[in-house]
Every structure is written in C-alpha cells, then in structure tokens.
Structure 1
C-alpha cells in the first residue's frame, strides 16, 4: 500500500524489476512480491539483485514469499502469513454474531470523520501499555498523517452513548480488488466485548459497497490476533518472510553497482 508506506516512513518508492522498493540514503526496503505473481520466487530474487546494486547501500530488508537466496546466514529472519477474507464475507460463527449484537446495542459506529484528540489518546494509551519496537511506535504515531494523505483510507470509530471513544479501526481501499484491514485499537476499560468485531464488520461492508472481492487482514502477529482473524473465517493465503542484513562493505558495493547497474 504505497500511500501508507510513504506517509509513515519517509521512504521513496521506486520499481526494482517487477517489485516495488522503498529507499532512503543507504537503506532499501524491497517488497518482494512481484506485481505479476506475488509468489514468483525467481522474480523476487531478480529484484533483490537489482536492489543490491544500488549505490551506497548499507542495509537491505526484503519482504517476500520466501527467504531470498542472496540473504547471508547472519540475516535476521521473521516469518508469518498474510490472512484474507472473501468479500462479501460468510457470516461468522454464532459466538461472534452474539458479540456483534451486544456491541451494536452499546456502541454507535462513525464511518469517516476527522482524527481527533481522543483517537490520538487511544493510540498513545496502547503505546504506553506495551513494549514495542521503535519502528512500530514511529508508524503508530504517524497514523494521522497517513489518514490525511491517503484519500482511499477510512477511519471507523465506535463510541459509547456518552460519546466516549471505545475503539477505532482503519481500512485502506486503494487497490481495485483487495481492501486492507490496517489498524485496530480498543480501550479495554470501556469497550464492550465485540467492539473490534463490530468495526471489522463495518470495514467489510465498506469493501463490499466499493466492489472489492477480498480483504487482506494482514499478519497473524501472535496467537491472539491470529485467533481473531481465524474466527471470522480468514485463511492464510500468502507467506511472509522478512530478511534484513547489513552490506559488509558499502564502498565495494558502490563500485560494483557502478559497474553492473542497469535500468529496472
């Protein structure tokens, strides 16, 4: 999702063969899912080769369907799966439907609207209560910028009868066929059970109204988040392998890049 990445990271997009890369001085993040086929490992490897020829490269992160063959043994590796739901989605199980009814009685959902102080406070509370990597914190703090810059994003808010914000979720609809479930936060002190389910249902409804045929729910991340997605019927559809490594000799890589560089 190019608008999201650009807004939260300050990285500049560029094509590297069949893949999209994001770069800034000395660093590149390659989304190694080729546009013609996200599971084409050979095309991913070709894009990695192009990325490694960028002048002055010191650090590379590749996200794709498999570990790139160029990754050294010392590379930091993370693995997960992307989950998806068809749109329109099949009705969830009885327990989830009960949660939706309860949450629907206690909450009012707002589609759209501006990011306010209570939204920022809810995200800040989440950050205060968890030990998160600096990069994740940076992304969450830039949510207002992303929402302001992406006309295809949608903020949905769940409020109690007294107006207090109980939960929020963000969807992204830039793609022609696939909608994206981007973020979700809830206040555990006041949000009734089913608050996040209610907001996901709203984002799925929005996707259906816009003509999307699938919603990418993102990664499992952990067992709790994975359970939430699976109870809606989401299934893993695309492997996620993230490989990060440092380039041993930036000076040499710059020379090699100047010798072998070609247009992507």
Structure 2
C-alpha cells in the first residue's frame, strides 16, 4: 500500500491517466504501490505496472530493473505492463500486445475552429450540459446501447461497466452529461481532475437513439473550460484507439505526446496442482 503522502507525490508528478491512483485502484480493484518511482497496482497474483517513471526520463534498463524487483517482491502469475517502449525480448513473450500514442491538448486554447464552434452552437440549441458526481440508469442505458452498436474490445467494455462505481467513489472524478430537450441522455464524458497538471478524459459515448448533433463537441468544450477553471496545464485525451477517435482528437488540436506499448504477460504457467484446485 501507499501512504497519503505517496499518493500526493504520485498525483503531483503524474503525466498519464494511469498515474491517477483513484482511477487505477477503482478500475482494477487492486492495492497501489510505489516501486523505484514507478506506480503499480496489485490484486492477488496480478500486477499492473505503469512503466512511465514519475521522475527522470524513461530508460529500458530502469524498466527491466523495476520488472525484476516486482517479480521478486510480489511473485505475480500475471503482469499487465504499459510503457513507452518494450524490449524486443519482453515483446516476444507477450500474450497480448498493443501499440498506440497518448494525445494531449494544451489549455487554455487560443481559439476554437469555426467549424467546431458551429457544432457547439448547434448542440447548445438542442441540449444542456451538466457536471455531476454520479451515474444513473440513463448512463447504464446509453452504455448498453453503445456496446451493442460499437462492439468495443473487452477491455473497453469492462472500463465502461466500471464507470458508475468509479465516478461514485473516486475523488476528482466527474461525469459531464448532455441532456436533450426531452431530458434524454444524448452523450456523456467521464473526466478526472485528481492529477496536479492535467485533466484526464477517461471514456465517453453518444447516443444514436437520442442523437444531438455536436453533442460530443459540446462536452469536449465543457471539459476544456472546466480544465481551465481548475488550473490545469493540459487535457489528457488518452489513446488514439482508432482512426475515427484520432480524427476527433486531432480536430480539437490534440497532438500525439507519448508513445504507448502494452503487454500482457503470464509469468507462471498453471501447474498440475492448479488443475486439481480448479476441479474441486
């Protein structure tokens, strides 16, 4: 576990969403730890290691040392690792692998493009935006609609399903809602304000059933305005994910800031004793 001072230290030095302690512990259900200025979470025999050092520049040799210490200290069966770069030897062992870039947007923005401004104004005619600290039945219904429509990856689906608990229990989390004129939820964004320097876009979606043109831009504008109010230096827009999402983030001025590589490792293969254990 970490102390209150250690959590404060992590949030003061955070520069990616996975450094946000409340987010990671809520989503993973694990306990937070610090290892050589690297943040990680542990849940039983599973470790999530955030391979972005809280101080000094990233170096492969430092990451290797932290992985070795993590193995010695916790003896995990499973290791989920994210880092700017993986070693070729480590990459070859990954059960699952992903490569992407983190996008960020500096605030305050000097100006908003006229096309985006028109979309925001159009949405303002047909919807209202609110800031809230809890999610309800409308969010559940919209999440289910989105999952049926988009069929997102299992990791994304699970993240959506964990949002109500996270928003309701994690200090710094806020849900931005866009309600149409009939009080239907047209779109929502989940944002975290816990890190010192940035606000983090966590996840969001819009409705086709209660579609409001420009609703996502309206929420993005609200997120930017809120970030300025809270004294943030930038908005962390998360990963590129796919061409459509990258296009939206770039449209708003988001730029790829850091590289991202993810690796899922199985460090201990099941033994014959495990087979007997599961057979009970």
TM-score, with structure 2 as normaliser: 0.84
Aligned pair partner of 2:42 in 23, 27, 42: 23
Report the counterpart of residue 165 of structure 2 in structure 1: 145
Cα pair distance change 1:46/1:139, threshold 3 Å: same
Any conservation in 2 of the 1:57–1:250 contact (CA below 8 Å)? no
Deviates more, 1:118-127 or 1:226-235: 118-127
- Which segments of structure 1 move beyond 6 Å, counting only runs of 4 or more? none
- Structure 1 residues 103-122: aligned runs within 5 Å: 103-122=123-142
Comparing 11-20 and 51-60, the one that deviates more: 51-60
Tell me the equivalent position of 1:79: 99
Deviation larger for 97-106 or 64-73: 64-73
Q: 1:35 aligns with which of 44, 54, 75?
A: 54
Deviation at residue 72 of structure 1 after TM alignment: 5.2
**Secondary structure, in 3 states, of the residue corresponding to 1:212?**
coil
1:230 corresponds to which residue? Answer: 250
Quote how far apart the aligned CAs of 1:39 are. Answer: 3.4
Are residues 1:51 and 2:70 paired? yes
> Does the residue aligned with 2:90 lie in a helix, a strand or coil?
coil
Matched residue, 2:240: 220
Aligned residue-pair number: 251
Cα distance change on mapping 1:181 and 1:78 into 2, 3 Å: same
Partner of 1:179: 199
Does the 8 Å contact 1:17/1:46 carry over to 2? no
Deviations 1:15-65 (A, max 9, x none): 121101111222211000000146344432322221222343222121011
Offset of residue 131 of structure 1: 2.8
- For residues 179 and 74 of structure 2, what CA distance do their matches in structure 1 show? 50
Aligned residue for 2:277? none
**C-alpha displacement of 1:189:** 2.8
TM-score (normalised: structure 1): 0.88
Structure 1's 94 and 145: CA in aligned 2 closer, same or farther, altered over 3 A?
same
Offset at 1:73? 1.5
Q: Does 1:97 align with 2:117?
A: yes
Q: Which runs of 5+ in 1 are unaligned?
A: 252-264
Deviations 1:215-258 (A, max 9, x none): 1000000000000000011101111011222115689xxxxxxx
Q: Which has the higher contact order (CA 8 A, sep 6+)?
A: 1
> Is 1:136 matched up with 2:156?
yes
Is 12-21 or 231-240 further displaced after alignment? 12-21
Task: Specify the SS of the correspondent of 2:219.
Answer: helix
Q: Larger % of helix: which?
A: 2
